[in-house]
Amino acid sequence: GESVGLHLPTLSVQEGDNSIINCAYSNSASDYFIWYKQESGKGPQFIIDIRSNMDKRQGQRVTVLLNKTVKHLSLQIAATQPGDSAVYFCAENRIQGAQKLVFGQGTRLTINP
């Protein structure tokens, strides 16, 4: 079936290091991808998005890479800080069909001091 999934459910990195969170999607019709961060007890918070006409987009300390050939999405966080500890979700929106996001299961990122 169609899905948006993650390679790793958990990831631990040392404070100051860079982290990479990966996501695979199966629907080639997907053309809009978003990364959300969810801290404990809170709703998801938008981090960065990318459309399928791009393969890279940068924000503040974050970079999203899109590889349409292998249907892979990644989120890179540079110089991680304790506040980056959270669950990160990738989500996709498709060109046609319902106006909804399809979310992956999430990766828990832990920043060790």
Partner 1 sequence: GAGVSQSPSNKVTEKGKDVELRCDPISGHTALYWYRQSLGQGLEFLIYFQGNSAPDKSGLPSDRFSAERTGGSVSTLTIQRTQQEDSAVYLCASSRRTSRETQYFGPGTRLLVL
Give the footprint of partner 1 on this chain (CB under 8 A). Answer: 32, 34, 36, 41-46, 49, 89, 91, 93, 98-106
Q: How far is the CB of 31 from partner 1 (least distance, A)?
A: 9
User: Tokens in use for 5?
Assistant: 């999934």
Q: How far is the CB of 66 from partner 1 (least distance, A)?
A: 16
The neighbour count for residue 47, using CB atoms within 10 Å, is 19
Q: How far is the CB of 17 from partner 1 (least distance, A)?
A: 25
Judged by beta carbon, residue 6 or residue 77, the one nearer partner 1 is 6
User: What is the per-residue DSSP string for 29-58?
Assistant: TEEEEEEEEE-TTS--EEEEEEETT-SEEE
Judged by beta carbon, residue 18 or residue 105, the one nearer partner 1 is 105
For residues 25 and 89, what is the distance between their CA atoms, to the nearest angstrom?
A: 12
Judged by beta carbon, residue 77 or residue 87, the one nearer partner 1 is 87
The neighbour count for residue 79, using CB atoms within 10 Å, is 11
Q: What length does the chain have?
A: 113
Judged by beta carbon, residue 60 or residue 113, the one nearer partner 1 is 60
Q: How far is the CB of 32 from partner 1 (least distance, A)?
A: 5
